[in-house]
Amino acid sequence: MYILYNFPGAGGFAVQALLEELGLPYELNHLDYDAGEHKRAPFIDLNPLGQVPTLVLPDGEVMTESAAILLYLSDLEGDAKLAPAPAEPLRPAYLRWMMMLTTSVYNASLRSYHPEDFTSAEDPKPISEVADRQLEEHWQLIEDELAARGPWLLGDTYSTADLYAMMIAHWVPDRTANFAKRPNLKALCDGVRARPAVARILPQHDGHW
Ligand SMILES: N[C@@H](CCC(=O)N[C@@H](CS)C(=O)NCC(=O)O)C(=O)O
């Protein structure tokens, strides 16, 4: 049994969707963000950074970092064909997207939403302004590549990178504008949302996606 820790609207969504899609047994624990449950025991004993997603594997090992978890589970369950195998021609593009999404885009969303966590200056606004500019650049790059080679990030091949992109695409200051400007990104997100495993868990996520 996998044990997943998350809070509503946070990065465990993609991990839960993948566990669901792979048919792996899991228990979902939604922490109370406002009550600060993620910053104290017992959760902090699992992840001293107090962040989600945090996944306890069936053997008790604790994994953090959304991209690492998604890469691990997708490779572990290779028969589901949600990740190109290491020697397959699409593997470099898959790794490129996963790394860009986690290091640049997810991170820019965090800086946009929580600029105060990234500066000691009294006014954190310049941090979110830069982050918002970077989000625009990255989503436009993704839109352009989808327009040229879509409908998925790997062309005709659906992968875990699409699920990850769908989750993060909603973490922008104005999601309606993001999708209005970027029809190929919107189509990708609609396609992910329509997958039965994703559709099954959406009601638990309170309109966040
Ligand atoms: N690099 C980490 C970032 C995780 C992260 O920052 N998660 C946010 C929610 S989306 C969180 O736990 N924030 C609470 C905090 O940092 O105090 C990952 O990809 O898993």
Model confidence, pTM:
0.98
Residue pLDDT, tens place only, 69-84? 999 999 999 999 999 9
Report whether residue 50 contacts ligand 1, using a CB cutoff of 6 Å. yes
Report whether residue 128 contacts ligand 1, using a CB cutoff of 6 Å. no
Q: What is the pLDDT of residue 138?
A: 98
Q: What is the pLDDT of residue 206?
A: 81
Which ranges of the chain have pLDDT less than 70? none
Which overall architecture, per CATH, does domain 91-195 show? Answer: Up-down Bundle (1.20)
Q: What is the pLDDT of residue 150?
A: 95
SS (H, E, C) the chain: CEEEEECCCCCHHHHHHHHHHHCCCEEEEECCCCCCHHHCCCHHHHCCCCCCCEEECCCCCEEECHHHHHHHHHHHCHHHCCCCCCCCCCHHHHHHHHHHHHHHHHHHHHHHHCHHHHCCCCCCHHHHHHHHHHHHHHHHHHHHHHHHHCCECEECECCHHHHHHHHHHCCCCCHHHHHHHCHHHHHHHHHHHCCHHHHHHHHHHCCCC
- Domain 2-81+198-205 CATH superfamily: Glutaredoxin (3.40.30.10)
Domain edges within the chain: 2-81+198-205, 91-195
Q: What is the pLDDT of residue 32?
A: 94
Report whether residue 105 contacts ligand 1, using a CB cutoff of 6 Å. no
Best mutation site among 5, 32, 39, 51 for ligand 1 pocket (most ligand atoms within 8 Å of CB): 51
Q: What is the pLDDT of residue 88?
A: 98
Closest residue by Cα to atom 3, ligand 1, is 65
Ligand 1, residue 65: give the atom nearest the CA.
Answer: 20
Closest residue by Cα to atom 20, ligand 1, is 65
